[in-house]
Structure 1
C-alpha cells in the first residue's frame, strides 16, 4: 500500500512541478487576486489529487522546503477548514493530508485564475 501511494505521489509531484515552472510574475499577481499563493495552491492541488491523502514528507520534498515549514502551513490550513490530517493506517508515523470541500474549492479558484491568465 505504501509503495502505491509513493508512486502516485511521485507522479503527481512531477506533473505539479512541471506546471509550477510555467508560472510567471504575472501569474503570481493573478493568484493574489484569487487570495491563494503558490505554496497553498500546490499543497491543495497535491493533497486533493490522491484519494488516500498525501504524505506530509512527500509534500515537503515536492516543495523543496522542510517538513516543519510544511507542517506550519498545514496547521493554518487545518484551522480554516481547507484540509484534514490523519494518521496512515499502515504506518502511524506517517500523517496524510486530504483536502476538504472548502480546500478543493480554494484550489479550483486558484486554477481558474491561472486558466484565465493563460487565455489572455
Structure 2
C-alpha cells in the first residue's frame, strides 16, 4: 500500500518551514528530503511519519512517546531506531513538527555525508 496523497500533503505542510522538500520511494512508503539528498523523515504505508534519529536523539524521541520503525522478517520483528515516529502531539502542530524536524536534521546530514562518501569510494574503486 502506498502513502495516500492526503497523508503526504499533510506531512509536507507540517514541514514546509524547512524549505523545499523532495519526495522519493522508501520501502512501501515515501522518504522526505531537504538539501537535495538529506532524508530527514519517512512516511510508512500505514501513514505513520518517522523521523531520522541516532544515539544522540533517540532518548528525546522515546521520552516524547515515539516508537521505532518496526517491520517483520521471516526471523521475527526488526526495530530500526534510526527512524522514530513523530510524537503524536506534533501531528497537527507545525511548530512542534518543525522542532522534531530540526532535531532530525543532524542525524540525517551525518547519514547523507556517509552515503556520499561510500558512493565516492565505490566510484573510485570502479575507475581503477
Greater percentage in strand: 2
Higher RCO structure, 1 or 2 (CA under 8 Å, sep 6+): 1
Q: TM-score, normalised by structure 1?
A: 0.31
Q: TM-score, normalised by structure 2?
A: 0.30
User: Which structure has the larger Rg over C-alpha atoms?
Assistant: 2
